Every structure is written in structure tokens, then in C-alpha cells.
Amino acid sequence: MLKSFLTTITDATNRGIRAHLEWLFRITSRRPLLVIGISIVLLALSGISIATTRFESDIFKLFPSHQGPLKLFLDSLKWSGGAQDAYFILEGSKERLIAEGERFAGRLTALQVDGQPAFRKVTYRTFDPAEAQSFADFVGYAVAHPQLFVSPGDAGRFAKSLTPGAMAGSLDKARAELTSQAGMGLREIIAADPFSLRELILPRLKKGSQALDLDTTSPYFLSRDGRVLIIIAEPARPVQDMAFARKLVTGINEARQGATVTITCTGAHLAAVLDEAAVKGNVISCVLSSLVVVLLLFYLTYRRFLPTLLIPLILFCGVVLALGTAGLFLSSISLISFAFTALIIGLGTDYSIHIYDRFHSERSAGLDTTGALRLAVMDTGHGVFTAAATTAFPFLALTISDVRALSELGLLVGLGVIFSLYATFLFLPPLLLFSERRFPATVYRPLPRFGLGWLWEMCLRRYRAVIPVSAALVALLLVATFFIRFEGDLKNLQPRHSEAFQAQEKIEQHLSLSPKQLLVAVEGSKLEDVMARGGRVEKLAERYVRGGQLVSFSSLGQVVNDRENQQEVLAAMVGPLGSLRVAESANAALSKAGFDPAPFEGTVAGLAALTTARPVPPAEAIERIERSPLRGIVARHLMRGDGSYHLLFYLNYRGSELDQRLFLKELAAADPTARATSTDLVSGQLAGSVKKSFLWGFLLGGTMVLFLLLSHFESLADIFTSLFPVFAGVIAMLGLMALTGMGVNFMNAMVLVTILGMGSDYGLHVVHRVTGVAAEERREQFVQSGRAVFLSALTTIAGFGSLAFTDYGALSSIGWATNFGIGATMLFSLVALPAFMEAGRRQTAQKNGALPQ
Amino acid sequence: MKKVIILFLMLFNVAAAPAQAVPDKKALEGLEVLRRGFAELTDFTADITQEKQLALMKRKMVSRGVIRFRKPGTFFMELFPPNGSRLLMQDNVLTIRLPEQGMTDRMVLPPEQSLEKWMAFLSRPITTLPEGMEVKGVRQGDSWTVHILPSGTGGVKELQITFDLEGRIRRLAIEERNRDRTVIRFTSMRRNVGLKEKDFRLN
């Protein structure tokens, strides 16, 4: 039943393919001008489609970001504007750094793009002297509202600071400060807080404002080792304005000319322009180098000028038609996806190789032009058609992935393969006919055999040894695959030598508070409610810090007490303060220390009222902080957007000591709506998406390949034989990756799927040509198909191999993985496959009694 | 904070800043005397008496102390108890210590406020008056008084510096817009005495 069903399918498919190839042969040999005309029209339409397609370089847009940790990560960048800012990292000697920083900041402030300031704001100092009064005003408010700003643990100390003895000591200090040369700057603050109560408030605020590990004694964003200074600037226009971004980078490059310290920069605008340049440079050099190698390989093998020249045209058609068609489905295409061009060069050339190789071989064997071409198109073309389909469909299967990096690349490569195939079928036959008419005296010499005849003989003779050696090698590499690791860090996929990437590394190296950070967001429409829920997260984080799982954390709750903590502070203070008679004691202490009580009346009244104080809405404290130079604390921890408040917690941790799974569970218990993100969580989310895509792609692509092979071959033994090289190749690829220290990442994981399509071609071609012919022809058929497979593998490696040397980690990992896979598949196709076929032939012969047992 | 230091620096700034259209001859002459005085020394030390009249205090605060300076950019000022303090400025790093309270505070100033920067300007003769302030010079016998009145809304209303014909400072007065006033009198000034590192210790 199944066999008859399969036979029906196989017959129908083969008949369909043959009819289609017949039609292609007819139309290209009889009406070549019509074919060329229609092709030009299609290319023009594709050009229009490409011109209206937007190309972007944002790596995060390649991954699903509508939910989970990546969404919160991108949201937080959007809320804070951090995604838009430009960061400048100055490195050099301490002596030169500050002066150069001042100069460079001045140049950035003066920088113009199209006659307008290039930056809205350039920040390079932590404190602006012009804000001294607003700072003093805040201190005055804070000391009169300790319930808001003093930690519950310090409430007792605060009350003690208002005892007569403590007040006298504080006033002595205030007098010494006023007398000293620091006095003028401190006068407003002393007037607001004569009893130095700020010492219980400001350290807490300072800690809360610390986003980077900076030298706190410097007014600049200076690293503790004094070797790195950071300047933050807000570009005037959004990153999507690439024309502006390019001009901005030009202006920045001019501004840093002649600097005596090293200045590197990063940020969305800069990364977009620099990465765009890096990717373009990488892809262009890859495309050109692989094209040169591919053409050289083709020419050196076949020694034919016109067919060699046709290959770039075929590839051009494949790329342009693929991009044009993809442009109809996609609103934008990532620059990384342009790497597909290199893949098309590797894959698209294969079809020309197989068809031309057959044509040349038949001509050199004495067949006439039409007969040779018919065999090439109709017979070899059948294998090529199936092979292209087995390559294209697994790639196209990736379009179901919600990981845009995979779906986009899958669509482009799948379409590119199909269009390259049709470009080969449509252009190669007319060109060969034209060439024969133009140069009728052309002699077709036998083609180089690359030692494949000897290899065939050797494998047949020693098939008993080749099979177990191959099996042992596969088993060995299979063991190695169990040691392969997963690389989840997105950083490894970026261009390693790009300036934007290296600048980010420097910030992490010199200025980060801890190796890793977890961001938690508590959200809601009512601030009071958000703060109250944030209090529970606060307690959870404190417990983790005490347990040593977190290094530290920062939050608004560390600076501003919620209602519950305020009540705790007031409860701890009311008793001691009630017996102190603060106003009388303060005025007496001030008079005794030589101060005029009049300027301190407001402060003293505020302190006297503490005995009857009540909790204050946190919104009031937040509004006060925002009016002070400490507004950065609120800007960092409380975001407003989409009609909600987003209270953010930054949890610093070193690595594995934080059990993130347990923390997230406890976080969900503390506040079920709280969200969390970190590089680890984002990597986990992406890994999950990639795994899902990979699984579906593998199943779908594998099913399609299997169906195509089933419809192509008539026996299961042939299918197994043609599939062995690719399965062995996949195992070898993973094993070699493990042995060379490479890991599977988000990008090269797709090679596992695509290698199925690409690698299955090799076995298919060899089995297709060798089986079904007379025994004496098998050797020659193997040499012909093996040569085409060998050249195809080399051209694919030339295409992908060039990626292996790019600076883009994402592309490089794809290049290496594919090279391992294709190289191994080719070797198994040319060495193990003849041995398997020989073993199969002998077994069949034995069954039929043709060979002795 | 550190405004007295900055005012000292303003003196140097006077010598270094860009020009006004019509220079006051007396002011130029007086500033050039002061500049030469600084240009010729490698270090100096002086006893000081500081009087501060602050709006926050009922009475004038009088302190005695010592001031030391060494090229290229080390400045030290100590006020003796009561209300003792020690201040050290090395180029643009300012450290202040209150010995009785056991407190030390350190900060890095912007480079335009570094001592070395301003000392570098002292090698050039003053031919023009600075922008952003009004400068007047008055000579009475063997002493000069230069009045510097910064424009704008900054805290300092007027700075008066009195010095002898060799550029030795005798008196420095700072009047602020809130009427606070500081007067520092210099006595026993000795120049080029070969001050050592130990003379600039905070502890």
C-alpha cells in the first residue's frame, strides 16, 4: 500500500519535473530572446522593489522582541533614551584626560549637522556649580522630612543627632567649615542643615544615583583608575535618520582629530553607521573574494570563457530577484541578511557546474550539441532540480521562525537558490548554443578527473575497510558532539573589531559596577501602588544581598521610603524626639555656638514638627528630587511611558551565585506582574526561540528533503545511501565545532537545518548518476558527478568560507560551521558513498546468486 | 566650596584672560606689578589673620593661620583652632581637613581652575584687562590696591587685593552679594624659602 502510494508519488513528481524541464529546454533553445526580454522585465521590477525596501542594522530587531526579557530590555532603553544616546570613551593619562575631555565636550556641543546643533545635550560633569542653591533647597527639605529619606535602620541615629550634645558637636563642625576656605560653598547647605543631618541622607542618595563605577571625588564621569572618562551626548535626531547619523559620525570624527587621548564612541547612531560600514565592507569583500575564487575554479576546470562569464550574471539574477521578491514580503531587510549574497555565490554556481560538466563530458565523448545539451538539461538537470529543491525548501522552512534573523535569511537564501536555478536553466542552454554556433571549431577536451577514478577503484577494492573506518570516524565525532556548548551571549555575534563594540567593552571593563546586571520592572498606573509593590521587591533584593547572591542593587526605594518604611522611621523617632524639645534645644545650641538663630528658623521649625509628622506621598519626594541636581536618581529608576509608571530595580551580580530561576519565582510571588531582564535572560529567551525555530525548521525541512528524495529515488537503499553523507556531515560538523572550541549560537544553529538541504545534494547527485547505469559506466559516471560535487563543495566553501573570516561573529560562525559541514559531507560523498554502493551492489548480487557468498 | 581658592585663581585669570577694548592704565600697571611678583617666586609662606563676617553668625569670626605656595601648583592654607582647618590644593585636586572633627574631603576641580594652568600664564606680561569683570587700580604710597568687580550674578561682588611694589600681597578682601565679607591679612611673608613636601602635609 505504502509502496504503491510512494511509487505513484514518485512517478507523478518525476513526470512533472521532466515535463517542466522539457518545456524549459524547448523555450530556451527556440525562443531565447523572449526569455531574455522577460528576464530583463523581472529584473527591473525587482530593482524597483529593492529601491523601496528599507535596510537596517539594529541587531535586536533580528530577534523576537514583543514579549519576555528582550521586550523589557528594549523598553528600558526606550524609556530612558539610553538607546539613542551617544557615548564617548576617552582613554589616556590622568593629566591629559580631563583637559581633553573638556575640549572634546566643547567641540561636541558646538558640532552642527545641516546648520543645526548635532546634540541636544552633552553631559560630562556630575555636578554643575550653578545648581548649588537647588541642592541646598533639597537638603533643607530632606532633613525636615526624614521619614522620606532616612533608612529605617538610621532613624534612631537621626533622633540622636538632635540631642543637645550632638547638636553642639555638629555646630562646631559647621563653624569650622564656614571658617575654612570651603565655607563659601557650604554656606547655603549649612543654613539648610546646621546639624549635619544630611550625613544620614546623602550617602543613601549617592548610592542610589550610582549607575557606573565612578571616581566619586571627581566632578567628571571618570573611572576609579582615572584612565577612562565618559561623555554622554543626546543626538538631535533619532537613529532611524541614517543620513543624519552618517553626517553626525563625520562630524564626530572631525571633532576628535588631533586629540591627545584615544577617543572611541558607541551608541545607536554610531553603531548603526559604523556597523553598517563594517557589514557592508565585510559582505562586499566576502562577495568579491568568493566570486573570484568561484570563477577561477570554474575556469581552471572547464577552460571555457563564456560559461565562466555567465556565472556572475546567473548569480546577479539570483540575488536581485531574491531581494526584489523578499522586498514584497518584508517591510525592511537586515544588513546582516546581505550575507546571503555570499551563500548564493556558493550555492548558485553548483547548478552551472553540474549542467555544464555533463554537457562538456558528453561533447568530449563525441555527442552532438543538441544531444549533449538535452542530456545535461533533462537528465543531470533532473538531479539538479531535485537538489536545488532540497536546498531551497529547508531554507524556506526557516521563514516560519519568529526569529527574524533566521526567517529573513531563510527566505532570501531559499529564493536565491530557486532564482539561481532558473537563471541557470534559462541562460546556460542559449549561451551554449550561441557559443557552438559562434565557435564551431571548438574542441571539447576531456575534463580533469581530480583523481576520482583512482578513488572509485580504491573505495571499491577496500570497501570492507572504508565502511568501518567511516563509521568509526562518525562515531568518534558523534561522541565529541556531546561536548558542544551553547553560546548565548549576543555580544559574540557582533563585529569584534568595530569601534562601537569595543567602546561598549571598555565601558563594561572600566565602569561597570558588577559583571552582570538584572533589571526588574514594577509597573502600574498609580505611583503610590507601584511604590508599595516596589517595597516588596526591595525586601526581596535586600535578602539576596544579605545572602551574597547579589553584589548590590539600586532602586528608588533605597532613596525614597514607601509609606510602610516612613511609618517605621517615624515610629522610631517620635519617642526620642518627644522628650528632646527640639526647637528650644536647637535655638540654644545655635546661640551658644555663635550662630544667629534667625536664618535657621525654617529648619528648626521643620525639625520641631517631626514629633507630629505623618507619612508623605512618595510623589512629593520624587518631585523634590527631580527639582534638585539629584534628578538623575529618578530618571534612572522611575520611568513614565504608555500611561504607566515603571519602577526599575538594578540588581548587580557576579554570575552563577544568583539562582535566577529561584529569584524569578520569588519575584513572581512578591509581585506577579513584575518583569525582569538581563543578558542571561535575554540569551535564554533567544535560545528558546532559536531552538523552537530550529526544531520546526529541521522537521519541516527534513520532511521536505525526505519527500523529494522519495520522489526522486525508487529504492529506500538509494535514499539511505544518498542521505548518509549529509548525516555523517552534520555529525562531523558538530564534532569538529566541539573539538575546535566553537559553540552553537543563535546564527550557526540554522546551518544544522540548511546543511541538510545543501549536503543532501552531494549524495543525491552521485547516487543519481551511478545507479541505474551499466556496471562498466559506473566509474565514469562517478568521476563526472564526483567532479561536479567536488567543485560544488569548493565553490560553496568559497562562498561560506569567506564568511568565516569576517569580523562579524554572527557571520563568521555560520562560515566555519558550514565549511566543516560541507567539507565533511563532500568527503563522505566521495569516499564512503562508493564503498556503501559497492557493498549494496555485492549484497544484491549475492542475493541474486551472481556472486559467491 | 573652594571659593577663596578660586578667587586667588581669578587674580591669575586677570592676568591671563582676553582683552577689553580700552584698558585702565592704573589697573594694568597694578596687575603687572602683581604678576611680576608671582613670576619671580618659586614659593612663598606667610602668616595670615582671617576675619569673616557672615550673615549666619552673630559675630565676626577671627582666625589665625599660615599660607604656603610652591610652584608649579601646590597651595596650602591652615587655620589654627578654634575652628581649625587645613586645605591643600595640588593642581586641580583639592583636599580639605577638619582636624578637630577628624574629617577629610577631597574633590577634583575642572582644569580651568587648576593652579598650574594659571601659573603658566604668569610668564606673559599683562597688556590688556580681562573681560567679564571691571578692574580698577589705585596706588597709595608704596602699596597698590586692585579692585576686581566680576559682572553677572555670581556670589562675589568685589575682590580687593592690596600688595606692595614688589608684588607681595598684604591684604585680600572678598565681599559677597549677600554682604558676607572675608578679609585676610598677610604678615611675615617670605619668598623663595625652599619649602619642602612636609610643609604641605594635611596630617
Helix boundaries (H) for A193-267: 202-208, 242-255
User: Using omega within 30 degrees of 0 as the cis cutoff, is the peptide bond preceding B82 cis?
Assistant: yes
- What is the tens place of the pLDDT at every residue in A367-382? 999 999 999 999 889 9
> Rounded to 5 degrees, what are φ and ψ at A332?
-150, 160
pLDDT at A656: 79
Does residue A579 sit in helix, strand or coil?
coil
A453-500+679-853 adopts what CATH topology? Multidrug efflux transporter AcrB transmembrane fold (1.20.1640)
**DSSP per-residue letters across A697-745:** HHHHHHHHHHHHHHHH-SSHHHHHHHHHHHHHHHHHHHHHHHHTT--B-
| A594–B59 CB contact, under 8 Å | yes
Q: Is B13's pLDDT higher than 50?
A: no
Sign of the alpha-carbon torsion through A372, A378, A383, A386: positive
Give this prediction's pTM. 0.68
- Ordered by start, the domain boundaries in chain A are 25-56+304-447, 129-213+516-654, 453-500+679-853
The residue ranking higher by pLDDT, A517 or B193, is B193
**By the 8 A CB rule, do A648 and A521 touch?**
yes
pLDDT at A767: 84
**DSSP per-residue letters across A3-68:** HHHHHHHHHHHHHHHHHHHHHHHHHHHH-HHHHHHHHHHHHHHHHHHHHT-EEE--GGGGS--SSH
Residue of A276, A142, A282, A286 lying closest to A206 (CA atoms): A142
Residue of B55, B110, B51, B146 lying closest to A106 (CA atoms): B110
Closest chain A residue to the Cα of B106, Cα to Cα: A217
Q: Taking the CB of residue A493, how many other CB atoms lie within 10 A of it? A: 22
pLDDT at A215: 74
Q: Is B19's pLDDT higher than 50?
A: no
- What is the tens place of the pLDDT at every residue in A174-208? 999 888 877 677 888 899 999 999 999 988 887 76
Does residue B146 sit in helix, strand or coil?
strand
Q: Taking the CB of residue A121, how many other CB atoms lie within 10 A of it? A: 12
Residue of A412, A461, A293, A432 lying closest to A358 (CA atoms): A432
pLDDT at A294: 84
| A179–B58 CB contact, under 8 Å | no
pLDDT at A493: 64
Sign of the alpha-carbon torsion through B195, B198, B201, B203: negative
Residue of A415, A343, A450 lying closest to A747 (CA atoms): A343
**By the 8 A CB rule, do A534 and A647 touch?**
yes
Does residue A661 sit in helix, strand or coil?
helix
Q: Which candidate in A100, A178, A181, A222 is best for mutational testing of the B interface (most B CBs within 10 A)?
A: A181
Chain A, residues 204-243, CB within 8 A of chain B, namely 215, 217-220, 222
Closest chain A residue to the Cα of B156, Cα to Cα: A184
Q: Is A634's pLDDT higher than 90?
A: no
DSSP strand pairing (A675-678 vs A516-524): antiparallel
Smallest Cα distance from B82 to chain A, Å? 8
Q: Taking the CB of residue A155, how many other CB atoms lie within 10 A of it? A: 23
Q: Is A311's pLDDT higher than 80?
A: yes
Q: Which candidate in A175, A180, A260 is best for mutational testing of the B interface (most B CBs within 10 A)?
A: A180
Q: Give the largest Cα separation in chain A, rounded.
A: 123
pLDDT at A315: 86
- Cα distances (angstroms) measured from residue A364 to each of A49, A770, A783: 44, 19, 14
User: Cβ contacts (< 8 Å) between B101 and chain A: which residues?
Assistant: 172-173, 176
Min mean pLDDT across A377-391, B14-28, B74-88 is at B14-28
Residue of A631, A827, A819, A730 lying closest to A209 (CA atoms): A631
Judged by a CB distance cut-off of 8 A, whether residue A103 touches chain B is: no
Closest chain A residue to the Cα of B51, Cα to Cα: A179
Residue B4: pLDDT band with limits 50, 70, 90: very low
- Ordered by start, the domain boundaries in chain B are 3-200
Residue A84: pLDDT band with limits 50, 70, 90: low
Task: Give B153's contacts (C-beta < 8 A, 6+ positions apart).
Answer: B177
Q: Give the largest Cα separation in chain B, rounded.
A: 51
Alpha-carbon span A139 to A160, nearest angstrom: 19
DSSP strand pairing (A644-653 vs A516-524): antiparallel
| A176–B59 CB contact, under 8 Å | no
Residue B14: pLDDT band with limits 50, 70, 90: very low
**Buried-state track A775-812, b at ≥16 Cβ within 10 A, e below 16:** eeebbbbbbbbbbbbbbbbbbbbbbbbbbbebbbbbbb
Across chain A, mean pLDDT equals 84
- Residues constituting chain A: 853
* CA A230 remoteness from chain centre: 25
Smallest Cα distance from B143 to chain A, Å? 26
- What is the tens place of the pLDDT at every residue in A314-364? 888 888 999 899 888 887 777 667 766 767 777 788 888 889 989 998 998
Residue A224: pLDDT band with limits 50, 70, 90: confident
- Cα distances (angstroms) measured from residue A79 to each of A312, A519, A635: 48, 13, 9
Alpha-carbon span B171 to B160, nearest angstrom: 8
**Buried-state track B65-75, b at ≥16 Cβ within 10 A, e below 16:** bbbbbbbebbb
pLDDT at B121: 62
Alpha-carbon span A322 to A53, nearest angstrom: 13
Alpha-carbon span B118 to B17, nearest angstrom: 10
Q: Is B47's pLDDT higher than 90?
A: yes
Sign of the alpha-carbon torsion through A367, A370, A376, A378: negative
pLDDT at A32: 87
Alpha-carbon span A200 to A192, nearest angstrom: 15
The residue ranking higher by pLDDT, A754 or A602, is A602
The CA-based angle A627-A633-A636, given to 5 degrees, is: 120
Which residue among B56, B111, B176 sits closest to A98, beta carbon to beta carbon?
B111
State percent of chain A over pLDDT 90: 25
| B85–A177 CB contact, under 8 Å | yes
Task: Give A61's contacts (C-beta < 8 A, 6+ positions apart).
Answer: A334, A404
pLDDT at A596: 92
List residues of B whose CB lies inside 8 A of any A CB. 1-5, 50, 52, 54-59, 61, 63, 77, 79, 82-85, 87, 92, 96, 98, 100-101, 103, 105-112, 155, 176, 180, 182
Alpha-carbon span A440 to A447, nearest angstrom: 19
* CA A351 remoteness from chain centre: 33
Superfamily of domain A25-56+304-447: Multidrug efflux transporter AcrB transmembrane domain (1.20.1640.10)
In this prediction, residues A519-524 reach a mean pLDDT of 92
> Rounded to 5 degrees, what are φ and ψ at B55?
-65, -25
**By the 8 A CB rule, do A503 and A89 touch?**
yes
Cell numbers found for residue A143: 532633613
In this prediction, residues B103-120 reach a mean pLDDT of 69
**By the 8 A CB rule, do A357 and A349 touch?**
no
The residue ranking higher by pLDDT, B172 or A241, is B172
| DSSP secondary structure letter of residue A647 | E
| B83–A176 CB contact, under 8 Å | yes
Residue A128: pLDDT band with limits 50, 70, 90: low
Alpha-carbon span A820 to A70, nearest angstrom: 32
Min mean pLDDT across A196-210, A450-464, A596-610, B33-47 is at A196-210
- What is the tens place of the pLDDT at every residue in A659-677? 888 999 999 999 999 999 8
**DSSP per-residue letters across B149-174:** EE-SS-SEEEEEEEEETT--EEEEEE
| A222–B108 CB contact, under 8 Å | yes
- Residues constituting chain B: 203
The CA-based angle A782-A784-A785, given to 5 degrees, is: 65
Assigned architecture for domain B3-200 = Clam (2.50)
- What is the tens place of the pLDDT at every residue in A447-456? 888 899 999 9
The residue ranking higher by pLDDT, A83 or A415, is A415
